[in-house]
Copies of this chain bind each other. A is one copy, B any other.
Amino acid sequence: MDRPYAIGIDVGGTNTVVGIVDKRGQILRSGSIKTARHAEVSDYLDELTDLLNQIMEDASISKDQVKGIGVGAPNGNYFSGSIEFAPNLRWKGVIPFAQLLEERSGIPVALTNDANAAAIGEMTYGAARGMKDFIVITLGTGVGSGIVVNGQLVYGHDGFAGELGHVIMRRNNGRLCGCGRTGCLEAYSSATGVARTAREYLDLKPDKSQLRSIPLEDITSKDVFDAAMAGDKMAQDIFKFTGEMLGEAFADFVSFSSPEAIILFGGLAKAGDLIMNPIRESMERNLLAIFKNKVNLLFSELKESDAAVLGASALGWEVK
């Protein structure tokens, strides 16, 4: 029987979003539930399975027509199908998520982390169509990455490869990162990193800035973006600093896998040229000569509200 549909599930800290997708990347039906509503993962999975059955029924699609379910989840391990010690979920320890959902739904399930799902999504439906070597960098609350080499996602021997938010950019006096170490890229170049940079600048620099009208601890990357777009010099400098560090990091990533493109995905990528221009200038300045003017810097081509579900669904096509 032909199986022309895949299901994508994006497990976020707040919401879990589900969509049925066709081969062209059209989302036919979607829905969501609250991830944190249930203390027990089995109760959550029951609600999730009900939602799956409901949207398949609404779309007049039987489970025999679904190739597979792809799940993007924090700390998702492709090899084990488990969510392992995810700090932003209520369920602790190792959750055999793919196996549990497969038992309930009767549909094969594959699972990976959010950034890897984004990379598969870009390769299947987005900016990386036709590419065999590229890197997706997700710029959200944290910095994540999905690396594709020779047309295959890089999982590493344990399923945890691609933690590029945690390469060390400042070996001395670096900022404390959520991972417990200091100087990680994520501590500077995430949305939270932008807000931290704003607080540092406001504290250390005497310059005027419209950011001074906001209580220091309340400043978000969105505030910095708005101020920069309104012409605020300090806010623009904050994006310049953020982008320059990303560019330095990208130059090292290129030395590793020499990708055709690096694709920016996630909330902070919405800053557009404000972040892309300093990234491009800094990356080119820092690249080894043989790599200069070869690497495309691109934005995700997945529609933002659908991106996570599309990415996860792309993994659904690959389910064995």
Contact = CB atoms under 8 A, between A and B. Distances in A.
A44 interface: no
A228 interface: no
Contacts of A156: 133, 149, 257-259
A157 B306 CA distance: 29
A248 B174 CA distance: 14
A28 interface: no
Interface string A126-148: 00000111000000000000010
Nearest to A184: B288
Interface string A236-270: 00000000000010011101111110000000000
Interface in A171-186: 171, 179-181
A180 B289 contact: yes
A286 interface: yes
A167 interface: yes
Count chain B CB atoms within 10 A of each CB in A155, A161, A289 and give the residue with the most.
Answer: A161
A54 interface: no
A168 B259 contact: no
Interface residues of A, number: 43
Given A168-B251, A171-B248, A251-B168, A157 B256 contact: no
A252 B157 contact: no
A167 B291 CA distance: 13
Interface string A196-210: 000000000000000
A290 interface: yes
A280 to B, nearest CB: 18
B253 A290 contact: no
A180 B290 CA distance: 12
Nearest to A165: B255
Contacts of A256: 147, 154, 161-164, 167, 253, 256-257
A160 B259 CA distance: 10
Contact of A167 (B155, B181, B252, B294): B252
A166 interface: yes
Contact of A161 (B159, B166, B180, B258): B258
A180 B288 CA distance: 9
A185 to B, nearest CB: 10
A283 to B, nearest CB: 12
A158 interface: yes
A288 B181 contact: yes
A88 interface: no
A152 interface: yes
Contacts of A252: 167-168, 252
A45 to B, nearest CB: 25
A26 interface: no
Contacts of A179: 288-289
Given A167-B252, A252-B167, A259 B157 contact: yes
11 contacts: A132-B157, A149-B150, A150-B152, A150-B154, A155-B258, A159-B258, A162-B255, A168-B248, A179-B288, A179-B289, A256-B256
